Amino acid sequence: MNDGPDQQRIVPAKVDAIAALLPANTRADGKLTIGVGAAGAGFPPLAFTATDNKTLIGSEPDIAVAVAGILGLQPQLENTSWENLFVGLDSGKYAVGASNITVTEERKQKYDFATYRLDNLAFEAKEGSNWKVAGPKDVAGKKIAVGSGTNQEKILVEWSAEAKRQGLAPVDIKYYQTNQATYLALGSGQIDAYLGPYPGVAYHVAVAGETEIIGTYSGAGAALQGKIALTTKKDSGLVAALAAAVDELIRSGDYAKILARWNLGNETTTKSEINPPGLPIEGK
């Protein structure tokens, strides 16, 4: 997998009818500032720095740069922290956030969304483990690692409780401080599987070649398919153009090529949705 600074990205030609959807001031400015919250180690394969330690690479920059091409705008990728990404959107420093941002009802109060990828989780086990995970009964009594305080932890805790209600053994949930420690535990047989965000799991499977995905699940849980979206300040006037550009990427086939390049074919969508139902506000 190419992790050097020369990414040879797909940059489609401008589509005038879609560029016409942009606000006049954006068209006149000629550039699209894109905030990516990948400061520090980043999150391969979505967004991380290349071997030169400065060039932003990954599926998120690739999608954003391709969208900018269709809009006839010069992309300006800006690496920042997750918190400062939203501060930058609020202040207008960034026109768009492209950083694995899940649509939630709370965020919809401040931002507009144009979806471009599904939000899935994946169970990862040693290659040749010969088991598949589709529901609570499949993980009963298994040792499974998960990140503390994550959405996937919440789902695994719920599955463990459901297994117990079915008269099965609960899940033996394990926690590790780092991905490296998790994968050492998986390789040595201390745990049976790891439940994490699909993109990171798929990337590790492709790079390490020692594990396999044995099941996937919506990051929003059973009731809703989670969705990842390009994010812009509410009423900025950009969202219709962003959605149309994503749809053009899908139509042309460039979208599938970008996600396949980063082993994310399992998270493709067929259409960009503007402000679809998002993860509910807690307690509502």
Summarised one tens digit per residue, pLDDT across range 187-229 is 999 999 999 999 999 999 988 999 999 999 998 888 899 999 9
pTM score, whole prediction? 0.86
pLDDT at residue 284, as a whole number: 47
Q: Residue 57 pLDDT more than 90?
A: yes
- If one compares 238 and 3, the residue with the highest pLDDT of the two is 238
DSSP of the chain: ---SS------PPP-HHHHTTS-HHHHHH-EEEEEE---TT-BTTTBEE-TTSSSEESHHHHHHHHHHHHTT-EEEEEE--HHHHHHHHHHTS-SEE-S-PBPBTTGGGTEEEEEEEEEEEEEEEETT-----SSHHHHTT-EEE--TTSHHHHHHHHHHHHHHHTTPPPPEEE--SSHHHHHHHHHHTS-SEEEEEHHHHHHHHHHH-SEEEEEEEETT-TT--EEEEEEEETTSS-HHHHHHHHHHHHHHTHHHHHHHHTT-GGG--SS--BS---BPPTT-
Q: Residue 151 pLDDT more than 80?
A: no
pLDDT at residue 130, as a whole number: 92
Token duo for residue 56: 């932003």
Q: Residue 30 pLDDT more than 90?
A: yes
pLDDT at residue 1, as a whole number: 73
Confidence of residue 167 (pLDDT cuts 50, 70, 90): very high
The answer to whether 268 touches 118, Cβ cutoff 8 Å, is: yes
The answer to whether 212 touches 123, Cβ cutoff 8 Å, is: no
Using CA atoms, how far apart are residues 74 and 29, in angstroms rounded to an integer?
9
Confidence of residue 266 (pLDDT cuts 50, 70, 90): confident
Using CA atoms, how far apart are residues 85 and 83, in angstroms rounded to an integer?
5
pLDDT at residue 2, as a whole number: 85
Using CA atoms, how far apart are residues 181 and 159, in angstroms rounded to an integer?
24
pLDDT at residue 279, as a whole number: 85
Tell me what percent of the residues of the chain surpass a pLDDT of 90. 82
Summarised one tens digit per residue, pLDDT across range 2-23 is 899 999 999 999 999 999 999 9
Q: Residue 282 pLDDT more than 70?
A: no
Using CA atoms, how far apart are residues 231 and 101, in angstroms rounded to an integer?
7
pLDDT at residue 179, as a whole number: 83
Confidence of residue 283 (pLDDT cuts 50, 70, 90): low
